[in-house]
């Protein structure tokens, strides 16, 4: 039986491990933190619970398939719950828009806020997203990245749409007149850590997926998903070695033959009894190669504030966006100047709207997220900068009148995470959420492939590799890697 070691117990790492154990491989995981889940985490403070990473699930069918294909019923592990309102959007002039997930309710809201003509533009936009989704779902999202996968008859006929150089923002300009709608649809580029002014129109599949499959959350909190994966690892006797940070490797004849781990920041341990290695991260230059680190075109990171309030807001939904005044300037700050935007768009997720246990009665748990650049020499998150930025974000929220008066007076506690914490906690390149950004189509070619070009027994899984970031795509990444390994080792496990 072949032995596989998986480094990293994020979603992609655990999904790969489970799928391969299900196929009959012997699998062991090594994780640098003392917990599993990676970017999917949670935080507790005095009666409050917060998800610290993902807050929204799209493509629930991908998660359902994983459970089914490993012989399980998802309901025995997690309960995915559809949201009635995918997101409530706020603009500074007082306009709001609820993206209801029920079609008639959505249309009524859309027409009343933006008008009938814009609704037709919305339907045309979705057709575009649908086209890209149907072209890519099986051939790209569910398969190993290969140029030939694009070269179907339909793909060749429509090649101009793929390589047109048009951005998400170009697409918004094509279909919408209202600047608010353009901003709303441009925001989807941030789902993969990119700028709408640079990322390809292909990513119109993101809103298409959200509108088609809805917005979901996991009952009891997103972290239940990570916990479910840990439980399944136990069911397959997959040992997770916590506190094991991969610090070096050795290789011979194009194969990795030894992994060196630093255990709990102290002792070192070498592991050489394995045939195949899977990495759930791309931060190690020996694994990814120098070229990968050359571009510096990293996806965005985040500034997070977990805030406990002693009051409940009537006007917030579970997911909320408070938009900045000048969206283009915000992205110039983030991706060109590489500094935190002065006037920022603020995302607020309040799981307490669905989960009564997430905050005490009469109180509310806010997960506040602002997109920021990955770490660079242009800005450093000193304590001073961190608290100054927090004040700016609070001022911005105040300007929307979420609570009457200054929200500072209602804050019981706050806990801040910056890109420097992302780097420390997840080991992701320069604190970025998704590794390389998708600001250029060429990124697809520069990401480490699921099967390494550098070593014959090395594979990559997770959001920084193919097919990309976000929880469902990490599940797909784990699937793709397990299938490549299965197909390459047919008679030997
Ligand atoms: C703030 C935030 C909000 C998000 N919101 C959403 C959302 O709403 N919806 C959504 O679908 N997605 C969202 N995402 C993205 C989603 O969380 C990630 O794409 C996904 O969880 C990444 O999984 P992964 O498999 O890439 O592993 P990661 O989570 O990146 O985990 C990698 C693991 O490897 C470990 N590791 C790193 N280096 C080493 C080493 N040297 N040795 C050993 N172990 C190591 C890390 O500790 C970590 O456990 C969000 C992410 C963040 C940070």
Q: Which of 5, 8, 9, 320 to mutate to test the pocket of ligand 1 (most atoms within 8 A of CB)?
A: 8
Q: What is the pLDDT of residues 98-120, one digit of tens each?
A: 999 999 999 999 999 999 999 99
Judged against a pLDDT cut of 90, whether residue 1 lies above it is answered with no
Residue 442: its pLDDT value, please? 81
Cβ–ligand 1 distance for 30 under 6 Å, the answer yes
Q: What is the pLDDT of residues 366-378, one digit of tens each?
A: 999 999 999 999 9
Judged against a pLDDT cut of 90, whether residue 143 lies above it is answered with no
Q: Which of 470, 472, 480 to mutate to test the pocket of ligand 1 (most atoms within 8 A of CB)?
A: 470
H or E element that contains 257? strand 255-263
Q: 427: helix, coil or strand?
A: coil
Residue 492: its pLDDT value, please? 62
Tell me the mean pLDDT in the region 409-422. 98
pTM of the model: 0.97
Tell me the mean pLDDT in the region 249-269. 95
Per-residue exposure over 336-364, b if at least 16 CB sit within 10 Å of its own CB, e if not: eebebbebbbbbbbbbbbebeebbbeebb
Structure confidence at residue 82 as a pLDDT band (50, 70, 90)? very high
Residue 450: its pLDDT value, please? 97
Judged against a pLDDT cut of 80, whether residue 471 lies above it is answered with yes
For residue 159, report the distance from its CA to the centre of ligand 1, in Å: 33
State the Cα–Cα distance between residues 188 and 196, nearest whole angstrom. 8
Residue 295: its pLDDT value, please? 82
For residue 231, report the distance from its CA to the centre of ligand 1, in Å: 18
Q: What is the pLDDT of residues 7-48, one digit of tens each?
A: 999 999 999 999 999 999 999 999 999 999 999 999 999 999
φ/ψ of 407, rounded to 5, equals -65, -15
Judged against a pLDDT cut of 90, whether residue 160 lies above it is answered with no
For residue 427, report the distance from its CA to the centre of ligand 1, in Å: 9
Judged against a pLDDT cut of 70, whether residue 277 lies above it is answered with yes
Give a three-class secondary structure readout of 372-418: ECCCECCECCCHHHHHHHHHHHHHHHHCCCCCCCCHHHHEEEEEEEC
For residue 143, give Cα distances in angstroms to 64, 200, 460.
Answer: 18, 20, 14
Tell me the mean pLDDT in the region 212-232. 97
Cβ–ligand 1 distance for 426 under 6 Å, the answer yes
Q: What is the pLDDT of residues 323-364, one digit of tens each?
A: 999 999 999 999 999 999 999 999 999 999 999 999 999 999
Structure confidence at residue 135 as a pLDDT band (50, 70, 90)? confident
Cβ–ligand 1 distance for 437 under 6 Å, the answer no
Cβ–ligand 1 distance for 33 under 6 Å, the answer yes
Distance of CA 331 to the CA centre of its chain: 18
Residue 136: its pLDDT value, please? 85
Contact predicate 143/134, CB 8 Å: no
Q: 477: helix, coil or strand?
A: helix
Q: Which residues contact 305 (CB under 8 A, 6 or more apart)?
A: 366, 368, 390, 393, 414, 415, 416, 417
Tell me the mean pLDDT in the region 395-409. 95
Average pLDDT of the chain to the nearest whole number: 95
Residue 265: its pLDDT value, please? 78
Structure confidence at residue 398 as a pLDDT band (50, 70, 90)? very high
Q: What is the pLDDT of residues 281-306, one digit of tens each?
A: 999 999 999 999 988 899 999 999 99
Give the up-direction half-sphere exposure of residue 64: CA atoms within 13 A in the CB hemisphere. Answer: 10
Residue 359: its pLDDT value, please? 98
Q: Is the dihedral of CA 232, 24, 73, 83 positive or negative?
A: positive
Per-residue tokens: 465: 């590799």
Tell me the mean pLDDT in the region 181-186. 98
Structure confidence at residue 158 as a pLDDT band (50, 70, 90)? confident
Residue 150: its pLDDT value, please? 65
Q: What number does the ligand 1 atom closest to the CA of 433 have?
A: 53
Per-residue exposure over 451-466, b if at least 16 CB sit within 10 Å of its own CB, e if not: bbeebebbbbbbbbbb
Nearest CA to ligand 1 atom 22: 463
Domain-wise residue ranges, the chain: 3-40+220-293+441-488, 107-213
Cβ–ligand 1 distance for 38 under 6 Å, the answer yes
Tell me the mean pLDDT in the region 385-407. 96
Cβ–ligand 1 distance for 114 under 6 Å, the answer no
Judged against a pLDDT cut of 90, whether residue 139 lies above it is answered with no
Q: What number does the ligand 1 atom closest to the CA of 12 have?
A: 25
Residue 312: its pLDDT value, please? 97
Tell me the mean pLDDT in the region 150-172. 79
CATH of 3-40+220-293+441-488, one of 3.50.50.60, 1.20.140.10, 3.40.50.300, 3.20.20.70: 3.50.50.60
State the Cα–Cα distance between residues 466 and 143, nearest whole angstrom. 9
φ/ψ of 219, rounded to 5, equals -55, 135
- Please confirm whether the linkage preceding 14 is cis (ω < 30° from 0): no
């Amino acid at each position: 039986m072949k032995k596989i070691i998986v480094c990293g117990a994020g979603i992609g790492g655990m999904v790969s491990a489970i799928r391969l154990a299900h196929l009959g491989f012997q699998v062991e995981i090594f994780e640098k933190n003392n917990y599993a889940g990676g970017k999917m985490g949670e935080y507790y403070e005095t009666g409050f619970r917060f998800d610290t990473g993902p807050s929204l699930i799209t493509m629930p069918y991908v998660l359902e398939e994983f459970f089914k294909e490993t012989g399980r019923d998802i309901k025995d592990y997690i309960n995915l719950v559809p949201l009635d309102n995918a997101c409530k959007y706020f603009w500074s002039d007082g306009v709001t828009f609820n993206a209801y997930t029920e079609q008639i309710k959505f249309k009524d809201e859309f027409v009343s806020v933006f008008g009938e003509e814009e609704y037709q533009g919305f339907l045309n936009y979705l057709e575009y997203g649908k086209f890209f989704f149907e072209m890519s779902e099986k051939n790209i999202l569910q398969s190993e990245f290969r140029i030939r996968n694009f070269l179907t008859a339909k793909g060749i006929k429509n090649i101009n749409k793929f390589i047109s150089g048009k951005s998400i923002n170009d697409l918004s300009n094509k279909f919408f007149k209202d600047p608010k709608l353009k901003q709303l649809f441009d925001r989807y580029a941030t789902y993969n850590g990119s700028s709408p002014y640079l990322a390809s129109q292909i990513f119109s599949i993101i809103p298409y997926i959200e509108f088609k499959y809805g917005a979901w959350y996991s009952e009891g909190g997103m972290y239940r998903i990570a916990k479910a994966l840990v439980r399944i690892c136990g069911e397959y006797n997959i040992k997770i070695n916590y506190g094991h940070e991969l610090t070096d490797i050795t290789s011979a004849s194009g194969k990795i033959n030894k992994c060196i781990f630093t255990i709990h920041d102290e002792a070192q341990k070498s592991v050489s009894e394995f045939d195949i290695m899977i990495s759930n991260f791309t931060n190690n230059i020996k694994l990814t190669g120098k070229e990968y680190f050359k571009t510096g075109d990293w996806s965005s990171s985040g500034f997070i504030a977990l805030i406990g309030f002693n009051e409940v807001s009537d006007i917030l939904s579970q997911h909320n966006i408070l938009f900045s005044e000048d969206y283009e300037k915000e992205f110039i700050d983030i991706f060109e100047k590489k500094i935190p935007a002065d006037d920022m768009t603020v995302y607020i997720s309040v799981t307490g709207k669905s989960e009564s246990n997430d905050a005490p009665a009469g109180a509310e748990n806010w997960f506040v997220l602002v997109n920021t650049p990955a770490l660079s020499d242009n800005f450093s998150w000193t304590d001073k900068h961190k608290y100054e930025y927090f004040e700016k974000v609070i001022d911005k929220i105040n300007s929307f009148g979420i609570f009457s008066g200054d929200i500072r007076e209602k804050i019981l506690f706050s806990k801040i995470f910056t890109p420097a914490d992302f780097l420390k906690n997840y080991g992701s390149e320069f604190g970025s959420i998704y590794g390389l950004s998708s600001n250029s189509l060429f990124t697809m070619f520069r990401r480490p492939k699921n099967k390494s070009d550098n070593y014959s027994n090395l594979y990559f899984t997770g959001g920084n590799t193919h097919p990309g970031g976000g929880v469902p795509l990490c599940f797909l990444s784990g699937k793709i890697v397990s299938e490549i390994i299965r197909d390459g080792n047919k008679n030997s496990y």
